[in-house]
């Protein structure tokens, strides 16, 4: 509603200005109706253009004003050069100078337009580098850290990024592109129960990150070309990382390899975990539901709520049951982690834990 009043004010203000100018007779168009009608159409065009551009960019507007200011400064300096040139080669009083006043004024005017055009174009094309030339001038929102970190779907569902943020070692903003959020919602609405649980877990993790005061989380709406918009999610994520000079956090093995090929810095959560102590220690007790047989004879396979595969010796006969196992070893690679264990005691029975697995300290 306020926007409509603002547009109406613009039309009325332009009409009032046109009427005032016509009454004073300062324009070539002395007919007041023609001037008023022309001004009205001009106001309509301005409002239509404003409506057709619903998403205004403060960054682009700041770039235009900064480029215009620099262009006017350059034009002023060029006008001084023109005056010096005329004074040096055509002394005052020559008929040539008197007859060429209009030409000199037109030259200055054109130099001003060209200077403003080139300066605005230069600033808009190099707006991300302006802050390195002029330290306190920047057209983007000042963010924590230097390079933002883009999150993909797998790393959000994994959940360990939230624990990493709780440590306070990340001061860069975390960027969640809109298409990643849509993919996460699609997984949460899947007809497959396991995918649905993982998707909802990812949404819970993302909500926890947004409420975490130690880190800044942004939902980013990227602008892609038609060709880029048709790319897969992983390719669009890497393209966005290249555009904003960011890094991608993931535990997807294929995305990790593709990012290295395209020259994008990848933060692999699995590599980070591989550099730290293992999460599950030998002898630790886990409660897990076995859902399918393993590749080897007698093995059963279950999954933690973050997607970690648990291979259970002699667990084939317990498929569909919740059992208590003792961890024997864990394999951690860039492609993910696998936990190996054996059934420890009788079947625990009952329903599975809401967290997917319960851990107890190893018994002495």
pLDDT in tens, 330-357: 887 767 778 999 986 544 443 333 334 4
The whole-number pLDDT of residue 116 equals: 78
Contact 156, 184 (CB under 8 A): yes
56 compared with 261, residue with greater pLDDT:
261
With bands split at pLDDT 50, 70 and 90, how would you rate the model's confidence at 269?
Answer: confident
Question: Residue 227 pLDDT more than 50?
Answer: yes
The whole-number pLDDT of residue 127 equals: 59
- How far, in Å, CA of 39 to CA of 92, rounded? 41
- How far, in Å, CA of 198 to CA of 220, rounded? 22
Give me the residue label for tokens 């080139």: 118
The whole-number pLDDT of residue 291 equals: 92
With bands split at pLDDT 50, 70 and 90, how would you rate the model's confidence at 253?
Answer: confident
- How far, in Å, CA of 91 to CA of 229, rounded? 62
The whole-number pLDDT of residue 271 equals: 83
The whole-number pLDDT of residue 91 equals: 61
With bands split at pLDDT 50, 70 and 90, how would you rate the model's confidence at 298?
Answer: confident
The whole-number pLDDT of residue 364 equals: 40
Architecture of domain 149-274: 3-Layer(aba) Sandwich (3.40)
CATH number for the region 285-360 comes to 2.40.50
The token duo for 17 is 């200005």
> C-alpha angle with apex 98: 95 to 103, nearest 5 degrees?
120
**Lowest-confidence range among 11-25, 152-166, 227-241, 319-333?**
11-25
The whole-number pLDDT of residue 348 equals: 40
51 compared with 184, residue with greater pLDDT:
184
Instruction: Give 120-130 pLDDT, tens digit per residue.
Output: 777 777 655 55
Taking the whole predicted model, whether its pTM rises above 0.75 is answered as no
Task: Pick the most confident of 28-32, 144-148, 251-255.
Answer: 251-255
For residue 116, the tally of other CB atoms under 10 A from its CB is 20
Q: Where are the domains of the chain?
A: 1-54, 59-142, 149-274, 285-360
Burial class (CB in 10 A: 0-12, 13-18, 19+), 19: middle
149-274 and 285-360 have identical folds? no
Summarize the confidence of residues 69-76 as an average pLDDT.
86
Give me the residue label for tokens 């190996």: 340
95 compared with 274, residue with greater pLDDT:
274
For residue 163, the tally of other CB atoms under 10 A from its CB is 9
The whole-number pLDDT of residue 140 equals: 47
With bands split at pLDDT 50, 70 and 90, how would you rate the model's confidence at 203?
Answer: very high
- Locate the DSSP E strands across 148-198: 149-151, 174-177
| Average of per-residue pLDDT values in the chain | 77
Strands 285-293 and 322-333: antiparallel
The DSSP code for 173 is P
The whole-number pLDDT of residue 111 equals: 80
Distances (CA, A) of 160 to 37, 236, 353: 65, 23, 19
The whole-number pLDDT of residue 308 equals: 85
Summarize the confidence of residues 272-291 as an average pLDDT.
79
């Amino acid at each position: 509603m306020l926007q409509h009043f603002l547009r109406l004010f613009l039309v009325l203000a332009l009409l009032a200005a046109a009427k005032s100018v016509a009454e004073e007779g300062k324009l070539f168009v002395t007919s007041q109706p023609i001037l008023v009608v022309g001004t009205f159409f001009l106001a309509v065009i301005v409002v239509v253009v404003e409506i057709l551009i619903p998403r205004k960019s403060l960054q682009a507007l700041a770039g235009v004003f900064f480029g215009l200011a620099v262009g006017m400064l350059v034009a002023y300096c060029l006008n001084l050069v023109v005056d010096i040139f005329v004074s040096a080669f055509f002394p005052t009083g020559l008929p040539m100078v008197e007859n060429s006043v209009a030409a000199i004024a037109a030259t200055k005017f054109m130099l001003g337009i060209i200077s403003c055009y080139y300066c605005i174009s230069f600033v808009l094309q190099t707006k991300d580098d302006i802050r390195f030339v002029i330290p306190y001038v920047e057209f983007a929102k000042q963010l924590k850290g230097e390079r933002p970190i883009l999150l993909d779907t797998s790393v959000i569902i994994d959940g360990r990024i939230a624990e990493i943020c709780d440590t306070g070692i990340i001061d860069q903003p975390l960027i969640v592109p809109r298409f990643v959020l849509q993919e996460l919602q699609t997984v949460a609405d899947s007809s497959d129960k396991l995918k649905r649980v993982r998707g909802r877990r990812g949404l819970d993790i993302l909500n926890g990150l947004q409420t975490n005061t130690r880190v800044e989380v942004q939902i980013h709406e990227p602008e892609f070309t038609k060709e880029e918009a048709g790319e897969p999610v992983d390719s669009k994520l890497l393209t966005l990382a290249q555009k904003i000079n960011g890094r991608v956090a993931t535990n997807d093995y294929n995305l990790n390899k593709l990012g290295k090929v395209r020259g994008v810095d990848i933060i692999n959560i699995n590599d980070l975990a591989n550099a730290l102590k293992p999460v599950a220690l030998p002898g630790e007790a886990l409660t897990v539901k076995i859902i399918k047989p393993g590749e080897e004879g007698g093995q059963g396979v279950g999954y933690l709520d973050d997607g970690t595969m648990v291979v259970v010796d002699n667990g084939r006969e317990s498929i569909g049951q919740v059992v208590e196992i003792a961890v024997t070893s864990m394999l951690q690679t860039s492609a993910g982690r696998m936990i190996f264990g054996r059934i420890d005691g009788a079947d625990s029975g009952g329903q599975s834990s809401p967290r997917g697995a319960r851990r107890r300290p190893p018994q002495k």
